Amino acid sequence: MSAAAIAAGSIIEARYWQDKLESTAAQLMERSNDSAIEAALDQTFQANLPAHELLSRACEAAAESVVLPAAEGAANQALLVSIPLIAWSKYPIASGPVDEATLAPIRAHLFAHILADGVRAHISPFLYAIEQLPRGFSETRKLMRKLTQAALNGTSTRPDSTARESEAAEMPADARFLLVGVVAPVGAPIFLWQQDAQNEAHATHNECLLRWVEQCRPSLAKLVPGAAFECGLPDAYFHNCRQCDLRVRPYMLNSSLELVEDSLKVPASEIGVVVAGVGESRVDEYRISILRKGTSQVVHGVVWPLYGAEDDDEAPSPREALEAIFKEHRVGEVIRLPGTQTPEFCEDCGAPLFYDPEGEAVHAEFPEESEPPPVHYH
């Protein structure tokens, strides 16, 4: 079906296929049949990449949005939205239940600076780490339905057991999300930047983000006490997941460099890094080994994944982005391994292995005499 959608000769036909794909995906999700969805995604990934891309988008749409038929009057469209934060700290970054006193001003700013007039919204009283987000499309759709129903009825919700029972991985930099169910009449704008788009004076994405940061930042800071953070624009759930994947990387690398400097008690000029392009046939990720300059014991490692169409032909390339961070951080030595390394993992714990200056894959380990950092990967 997604291959037929790619071949559509008109927008009318493409829309027909798009609706079919979405409604089929939604039916599978209602039956919690994630395995059928995953199988279709796998199959198109092997056979037809553009069709795969289209199918992925249809599945995301079915998981994060729904049209609610009205008993009378206009039907409503419901969307799962997230309020993203990228936080970094030497200490564990907060996640979990959020009290109403913290949530109330955030809700007010969301209505004032992000959502279009007349949109209804309900924020789940829980700060989600990535590990606590719903797993798979069906669970996402279930949560979307719950939060948007609460928005429609003006009722309250409790976080799901998956969220409450999962622990956030302790990373030096990580994403956090508040999840919001949002409801508007079909055809009406959901976000402020959609409203009065024909009018010159309408607010752009960027203006909304600026106002959001200016007004809401002090309230958002209460969610992640003791951490530095950057706030992203509240927007659709899957879009923000992808944005955060991209944006967390530089903070992760910077925090990890600082972590090693702190625990070895040396300045950045005494730190060396080894950069290896890793993948089966092309570079899928960079693995960055951090060590004391002039030695070969890898103290800490950072994975810098590449997403979608990212590769070294674009500008600035991922490699250039890395180099810029090393330069800004004044790292003492940068060793670039030539070629592409095959991905290797520890046989005991599954952790990714990192490359020493000679190109040998090793387990990253803090030396015993140094203060171990307050993070654990396994």
The CA–CA distances, whole Å, from 86 to 33, 105, 178 equal 32, 20, 12
Distance of closest approach, residue 376 Cβ to Zn ion, in angstroms: 11
Is residue 174 a contact partner of residue 168, using CB atoms and an 8 Å limit? yes
| Contacting Zn ion within 302-361 (CB under 5 A) | 346, 348-349, 351
The β-bridge partners of 342 are none
Distance of closest approach, residue 349 Cβ to Zn ion, in angstroms: 3
Of the pair 110, 288, the CB lying nearest Zn ion is at 288
Distance of closest approach, residue 346 Cβ to Zn ion, in angstroms: 3
Distance of closest approach, residue 345 Cβ to Zn ion, in angstroms: 8
Residue 105 and residue 35: Cα distance in Å, rounded? 40
- 104: three-class secondary structure by DSSP: helix
Of the pair 136, 343, the CB lying nearest Zn ion is at 343
Kindly state whether residue 12 participates in binding Zn ion, applying the rule CB under 5 A.
no
Distance of closest approach, residue 286 Cβ to Zn ion, in angstroms: 20
In what helix (H) or strand (E) does residue 338 lie, and over which residues does it extend? strand 333-341
Distance of closest approach, residue 172 Cβ to Zn ion, in angstroms: 19
Is residue 121 a contact partner of residue 183, using CB atoms and an 8 Å limit? yes
Distance of closest approach, residue 348 Cβ to Zn ion, in angstroms: 4
Name the one residue in this structure whose structure tokens are 């950072």.
Answer: 302
Of the pair 51, 290, the CB lying nearest Zn ion is at 290
Is residue 328 a contact partner of residue 316, using CB atoms and an 8 Å limit? no
Of the pair 187, 350, the CB lying nearest Zn ion is at 350
Of the pair 80, 276, the CB lying nearest Zn ion is at 276
Query: How many CA within 13 A on the CB side of residue 127?
Result: 25
Look up residue 236 and give its two tokens. 């659709």
DSSP 238-264: HHHHHHHHHHHHHHHHHHHHHHHHHHH
DSSP 116-177: PTT-EEEEEEEEEEGGGSPPHHHHHHHHHHHHHHHHHHT------HHHHHPPPP--SEEEEE
Of the pair 121, 288, the CB lying nearest Zn ion is at 288
| Contacting Zn ion within 81-110 (CB under 5 A) | none
Of the pair 91, 345, the CB lying nearest Zn ion is at 345
By CB under 5 A, the count of residues binding Zn ion is 4
Distance of closest approach, residue 353 Cβ to Zn ion, in angstroms: 8
Of the pair 315, 349, the CB lying nearest Zn ion is at 349
Contact residues for Zn ion (CB under 5 A)? Answer: 346, 348-349, 351
